[in-house]
Amino acid sequence: MSSMSEAVDLSHSPLEELIVCPVCDATYQLERPKNGERAVCTRCHKVLIAPRRKAGMQIIAVAVAVVVLITAASVFPFLQISAAGRSNSVSIIDAALSFTEGPLLVLALMTAGFILFVPLLRMLLTVYVLVPVVLDRPPARHAIPAFRLSEALRPWSMAEIFALGCAVALVKVADLATVSFGPAFWMFGVLVVLVIVQDSFMCKWSVWNSLEHPKRQ
Amino acid sequence: MTAREAGLVACTRCGRAWPLGTADCGRCGAKLVSRDAHSLQRVWALWIVGMMCYFPANMYPMLLSRQLFSVDESTIIGGAVDLAHHGAYGIAAIILIASVVIPLGKFWAIAFLAVSVRQHRGFASHRRLLMYEVVEYIGRWSMIDIFVVAILSALVQLKGLATITPGPAAFFFALSVIFTMLSAQAFDPRMIWDAQPNDNEASDNG
């Protein structure tokens, strides 16, 4: 971990060589950390830059895997319940669309959005933005608004919360009926881990910087 | 040294510095504001809407469960009390913490931050920042209750034996969570540090 040095005399340094902490507004002379190291704000300890070697390629690979998993996991049965000879199996789409009456329909659409469409859209945007960057090409058309949208959607991507919700739901029905997992349940488990891994690889500053200066990357 | 003291305005999205008065970030296109003066108004407006949704979320039933001949309507707290009566104290505690303690704690924490930023009172910036980060991080996790209701009502559809359908409280609870998240996002954390300029000098050296 390396700490940024405070910019003392800002009048002489070009603005391009400054970085400002988004949380506490502290301004630093830009020093790019080596791959694997992190630049941290000395005042509020926010991680400002955290580059990794080949992070772009890894993020793309994970994003493609996540897209495949989300698509598959939403179609295959997810959980199966059986009691006294009756059984019912549901997919994630069924779970998301279970609120179908009156105002609850809005809730159904929101739920489907949070657990399927927002994560899916984020991954597609990530691939769209990063592929030209990794291949040393000029940025894709509208790459900047695309990455902005992807970052804005980050808190609304709730796949991992849904996974924990499953665990709670399982405990609740356990004494009522027998519950068994479908293939989609395991896909979703893997997906949650991949989403978390990808988040830790992503260095926002590096992406913005390479969108601004495509050749230097 | 902060960007504002240096006569600069920072982009909170990509970290680029621009001369004070620049309207949009030339790198990522975000609107640039040195300190968001209307931030607190938005925080309070969204906070109030979130609070208004939280009351019906606790008064209406969350789950309607039908087993053979009986229909059971349970509110959030009622459901947890039922679980505790059946001896499932652990799950009852999880539900109470996720849907009562955390939402109320969030309301309190956002209100506290919004008030303390105005008053310049002595409460270490680092602790307030920690509070802000915890609120931002935990906020999303309250949606777990909605997902549990969604899973249960899709799954437990055994005709004649047992069925579960969502109650109106689910709608209000989801809205309450969403508005509280928006309220926390509207808060500008840079204001935490403006309130106490002396406190940061000490931590810079340490």
Q: Do B84 and B176 fall within a single domain?
A: yes
**pLDDT, tens digit, for every residue of A161-216?**
888 788 778 777 776 777 888 888 888 888 888 888 888 888 888 888 888 876 54
Is residue B103 scored above 50 in pLDDT? yes
pLDDT for the residue B120: 63
Q: Do B14 and B58 fall within a single domain?
A: no
Angle at A92 between CA A64 and CA A172, to 5 degrees: 130
Q: B28 versus A61: which is more confidently predicted? A: A61
For the segment B94-106, the average pLDDT, to the nearest whole number, is 86
Mean per-residue pLDDT over chain A, rounded:
80
Q: Do B1 and B82 fall within a single domain?
A: no
pLDDT for the residue B46: 94
**For chain B, what percentages of helix, strand and coil (3-state, to nearest 5) are there?**
60, 15, 25
How far apart (Å, rounded) are the C-alpha atoms in residues B138 and B187?
15
Helix axes B102-119, B39-59, angle to 10 degrees: 160
Banded pLDDT at B45 (limits 50, 70, 90): very high
- What the block records as the tokens of B55 is 């009351």
Is residue B203 scored above 70 in pLDDT? no
DSSP state of B2: B
- Residues of chain B positioned with their CB less than 8 A from the CB of A147: 28
CA dihedral A149→A74→A186→A160, nearest 10 degrees, is 30
Q: Do B182 and B150 fall within a single domain?
A: yes
B185: closest CA among B127, B106, B119? B106
**pLDDT, tens digit, for every residue of A35-44?**
778 888 887 8
A213: closest CA among A138, A130, A128, A127? A138
Distance from CA of A172 to the nearest CA of B (A): 8
Task: Judge whether B189 is closer than 8 Å to chain A, CB to CB.
Answer: yes
- The total of structural domains in chain B comes to 2
How far apart (Å, rounded) are the C-alpha atoms in residues B150 and B52?
23
Is B201 contained in some domain? Answer: no
How far apart (Å, rounded) are the C-alpha atoms in residues B198 and B24?
31
DSSP H stretches of helix in B17-101: 39-59, 76-85, 89-96
**pLDDT, tens digit, for every residue of B58-80?**
888 888 887 777 777 888 888 88
Is B148 contained in some domain? Answer: yes
| Interchain pair A111, B146: CB under 8 A | yes
How many CA atoms within 13 Å lie on the side-chain side of B84?
A: 11
Whether complex ipTM tops 0.85: no
Is B13 contained in some domain? Answer: yes
pTM: 0.84
How far apart (Å, rounded) are the C-alpha atoms in residues A202 and B184?
23
Q: Do B97 and B59 fall within a single domain?
A: yes
Structural domain boundaries enclosing B150 = 38-195
Q: Do B23 and B118 fall within a single domain?
A: no
Q: Do B1 and B59 fall within a single domain?
A: no
Q: Do B2 and B82 fall within a single domain?
A: no
Q: Do B167 and B85 fall within a single domain?
A: yes
Q: Do B16 and B103 fall within a single domain?
A: no
Considering only CB atoms, A205 lies closest to which of B15, B17, B162, namely B15
Q: B151 versus B119: which is more confidently predicted? A: B151
How many Cβ contacts (< 8 angstroms) between chains A and B?
206
Q: Do B104 and B188 fall within a single domain?
A: yes
Q: Do B30 and B58 fall within a single domain?
A: no
**pLDDT, tens digit, for every residue of A114-136?**
888 898 999 999 999 888 888 87
Considering only CB atoms, A81 lies closest to which of B143, B155, B190, namely B155
Is B154 contained in some domain? Answer: yes
For B162, name the nearest residue in chain A, comparing CA atoms only: A176
